């Protein structure tokens, strides 16, 4: 029943313990909210990376998308990614960054019609409940923590299905220290601990 402020660099620990989480970068509060909101609605690339990614891909937003609160993204340059709808109402087109959570990518066969990417297994580790894979995407880096109940061997070519719920899209010009309000989207004003008043620490638990 006591209010406490707990400072940690362990994201899993913060999510498990806290009712409200504040993410700091260089001494500035850049997002504040329930753990679920921090994870499912990161307000900047920095918050997304800090709270755990499988990997990132450079993509292009289709200029004709964005009418229903989602955008259609596809490969930037060479054909790589099948079109994917991601929630990002404020993006209207151009080069962007697709940030993928471990929960947002699933290993499937290359014969499946619903895979979005194809890659090569670089490494695999048994985790008790199944296997985690590191997958190299030719010319575009590596996705890690890709889970499957069955093992794919090193060197295997595999398909990857992306879940839009576990994918986040940011404009290529987004700064990693973009400031946000406590409730969500990025704002132009930066928030510092000194700005929020003496009642603010009591909201942390």
Instruction: Give this prediction's pTM.
Output: 0.73
Helices marked H in 67-182: none
pLDDT at 97 (0 to 100): 87
pLDDT higher than threshold 90 for residue 32: yes
Q: Would you call 88 exposed, middle or buried from its count of C-beta atoms within 10 A (0-12, 13-18, 19+)?
A: buried
CA dist 151 and 103 (Å) reads: 17
Mean pLDDT of 156-185: 68
If you ran DSSP here, which 8-state letter would residue 14 be given? H
Summarize pLDDT for 105-162 with one digit per residue, the tens: 998 877 767 788 889 999 999 999 999 999 999 878 899 999 999 999 999 999 998 8
Q: pLDDT value at position 195?
A: 36
C-alpha to C-alpha distances, 125 to 55, 93, 110, 143, 150, nearest whole angstrom: 17, 38, 21, 14, 11
């Amino acid at each position: 029943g006591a209010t406490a402020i707990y400072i940690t660099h362990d994201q899993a620990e913060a999510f498990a313990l806290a009712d409200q989480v504040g993410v700091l970068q260089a001494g500035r509060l850049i997002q504040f909210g329930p753990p679920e909101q921090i994870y499912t609605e990161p307000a900047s690339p920095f918050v997304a990376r800090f709270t755990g990614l499988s990997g990132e891909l450079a993509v292009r937003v289709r200029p004709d998308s964005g009418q229903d609160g989602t955008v259609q993204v596809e490969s930037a340059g060479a054909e790589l990614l099948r079109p994917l709808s991601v929630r990002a109402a404020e993006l209207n087109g151009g080069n962007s960054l697709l940030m993928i959570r471990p929960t947002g990518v699933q290993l499937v066969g290359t014969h499946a019609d619903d895979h979005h990417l194809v890659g090569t297994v670089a490494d695999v580790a048994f985790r008790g409940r199944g296997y985690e894979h590191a997958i190299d995407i030719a010319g575009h880096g590596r996705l890690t923590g890709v889970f499957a109940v069955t093992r794919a061997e090193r060197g295997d070519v595999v398909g990857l299905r992306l879940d839009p719920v576990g994918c986040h899209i940011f404009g290529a010009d987004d700064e990693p220290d973009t400031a946000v309000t406590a409730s969500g989207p990025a704002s132009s004003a930066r928030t510092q601990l000194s700005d929020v008043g003496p009642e603010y620490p009591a909201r942390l638990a």
